[in-house]
C-alpha cells in the first residue's frame, strides 16, 4: 500500500516535470492557485493520479478542497486506494 509521503512525492514530481516551471520552488502545501496552475493543468494532474493509482475521480470528487494543493490531492488519493 502506498504511503501519503510516497503519493505526495509522485504528484510533486509530475507537477514539477509537466506543469510548472522547473525553477519554481514549492512544497505539498502550496496552493495550485499560488503556483499559477490553471484548470486544464489540474485535470492533467487528476488524470495522472487516476492512471498511476488506478482510481476514478467523479465530478463530485473534484471539489475545491480536494484540488487545493498537492497534499490535499494526495490525501484524497490515499482514501481512494
Q: What is the CATH number of the domain that holds 32?
A: 1.10.1200.10
Q: Which residue in this structure is represented by grid cell 514539477? A: 16
d(CA 4, CA 51): 17
Q: What pLDDT does residue 2 have? A: 87
SS3 content of the chain, % helix, strand, coil (to 5): 55, 0, 45
Range of the domain at 24: 4-80
> Confidence class of residue 46 from pLDDT cuts 50, 70 and 90?
very high
| Total of domains in the chain | 1
pLDDT one-digit tens code per residue, 11-45:
999 999 999 998 999 999 999 999 999 999 999 99
Cα–Cα separations (whole angstroms), residue 27 to 15, 35, 48, 50: 11, 10, 18, 21
Percent pLDDT > 70 in the chain is: 99
Q: What pLDDT does residue 22 have? A: 83
Q: What pLDDT does residue 59 have? A: 92
In the predicted structure, residue 51 carries a pLDDT above the cut 80? yes
d(CA 20, CA 27): 12
- 48 half-sphere exposure, CB direction, 13 A CA radius: 21
Amino acid at each position: 500500500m502506498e504511503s501519503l509521503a510516497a503519493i505526495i512525492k509522485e504528484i510533486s514530481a509530475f507537477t514539477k516535470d509537466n506543469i510548472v516551471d522547473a525553477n519554481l520552488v514549492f512544497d505539498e502545501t502550496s496552493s495550485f492557485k499560488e503556483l499559477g496552475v490553471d484548470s486544464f493543468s489540474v485535470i492533467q494532474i487528476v488524470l495522472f493520479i487516476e492512471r498511476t493509482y488506478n482510481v476514478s475521480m467523479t465530478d463530485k470528487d473534484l471539489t475545491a478542497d480536494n484540488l487545493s494543493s498537492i497534499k490535499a490531492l494526495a490525501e484524497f488519493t490515499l482514501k481512494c486506494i
